[in-house]
Chains A and B, each alone.
Chain A
């Protein structure tokens, strides 16, 4: 053992690292960016969930304050809950907003609500969940349950103590689901987006590395000296990797459906279509970015730049609607946001291709691919020069 020889190695490693500015920057910048994103998501994500209340109750309770609707009183109390953003809507509007995901649940007081409280002291409330995210469902269920219990207690006070008309009334919450159902669990929620995420991640990495190899082993030079056009090279790569992406999607889907028995409601062909369009974008992004990498390590460095933000910001793990406004702007320009939305819409909500949500997603993904193809082809010239 010689100290000076060991120091020689350590010194050389440090010297080389200092020369590699990009790696150094990454060591500092990436943890800062990722921690900032996580901090923003976890600390400033919106804590309250949007729910709609449909109040069709006729005022029918005689109280010291006159004729009063029990439902109106309950709604007023619910509006004070910190966990909920309550919107009073008509039945049709509430249903429309529930379908589009603007509200996560609808609480329905029908016209006989007050009457039945007075007569039977026992009353049914309909609670309809949007249902596609089991975590949101559970959260809304908890908040609404707590808020209703509180509201009930307060109302009893307003109306004259435990002996008042509603003091002893029991609320029976009748839960129903627009999409999914009670048995929908967290895995059902995540499985659809992982299909897209894996495809994007692997296809991007594989294309970047194989293009880099094509350049470093000199075969790109040979291709450029052949009658091949740049477009042909890009299209060939796209076709080749799309095969793997489709096989991968089939495997993940097969495993998820047959072994994990996840929920799926929609047409799996649309899932494949989304997958292929996403792959085309990823292949060309890989070609484009590989021009900026000198070796395989530098390709790996794209992971924290390209892959991690998309995991955090595209609704892959953290729901989009709970994100702070600023981050939602960023997620709006990331392709995986649209793929995730389309995949969930199809697999959980059973949306088909003509439903506007899916159609918009697919169009945005197509636009992304259409933007990346010329970008990939353009950088091909730089690959050899």
Chain B
């Protein structure tokens, strides 16, 4: 079968710092895959390689069946970071319109559609800098979705987002999954990881373990994901 993401033996070094250490990753189409790991484990580096902003020192990445970096694939990718990455002095609608035009979209109805999806159609004309942090994250998600991407790369999208909004975000993500959209999401929040179809546990640029949350708990023989992660990390630590 064709994978949405197929990365093999990725290594990325920043000077002497090894951010990724021979990591391989396969993400199936239509699933939501969580990258779980502490700060500095290589989550952001991995996502930035997947989106083609960084070049790996070694290894290869194919996204939607095309070798990266490939500008043509970027039409199919939606990318969102933990900072809202919006033009603060433009209105919500103006931000959306800008990104829509970057992707060659002329359909005004789509703007309305994504605004409704994130529940901000009544704030369309508000200047972004006047919005709350949670609202900005919702606008940011709207911008990442505007061009109907087939693959969503989300780098800690719910950092600083309140629990209610986080539940709402997952509601959108599930809906997108059902439409066949693949989601790769990085997080260090365990309850968020619980919601993914499959998880990859990341530590020091390597994949410790992979599987559904249920499988990972069972394999580690622990009752919570958090403890399971620590157990895997300990085994890894002894091995090294």
Contacts and interface: CB of A to CB of B under 8 A. Distances in A.
Q: Is the interface of A mostly helix, strand, loop or mixed?
A: loop
B87 A227 contact: no
A212 to B, nearest CB: 13
A227 B103 contact: yes
Contacts of B75: 227
Interface string A221-233: 1111111110000
A218 interface: yes
Interface of A: 217-219, 221-229, 384-385
B52 A223 contact: no
Contacts of B143: 222
Which one of B52, B74, B86, B102 has the greatest number of beta carbons of chain A within 10 Å? B102
A381 to B, nearest CB: 9
Contact of B85 (A222, A227, A228): A222
Interface in B78-112: 79, 81, 83-88, 99, 102-104
A224 B49 CA distance: 12
A385 B102 contact: no
A226 B99 contact: yes
A219 B53 contact: no
Given A221-B53, A384-B53, A226 B83 contact: no
B53 A217 contact: no
B88 A222 contact: no
A226 B102 CA distance: 7
29 contacts: A217-B84, A217-B85, A217-B86, A217-B88, A218-B81, A218-B85, A219-B85, A219-B86, A219-B87, A221-B53, A221-B79, A222-B85, A222-B99, A223-B102, A225-B51, A225-B53, A225-B77, A225-B79, A225-B153, A226-B74, A226-B102, A227-B71, A227-B72, A227-B74, A227-B75, A228-B102, A384-B53, A385-B53, A385-B54
Size band of the B side of the interface?
A: 20 to 34
A217 B74 contact: no
Contacts of A218: 81, 83-85
Nearest to B71: A227
B81 A221 contact: yes
A225 B72 CA distance: 11
Contacts of B74: 225-227
Contacts of B77: 225
A223 B84 CA distance: 13
Contacts of A222: 79, 81, 85, 99, 143
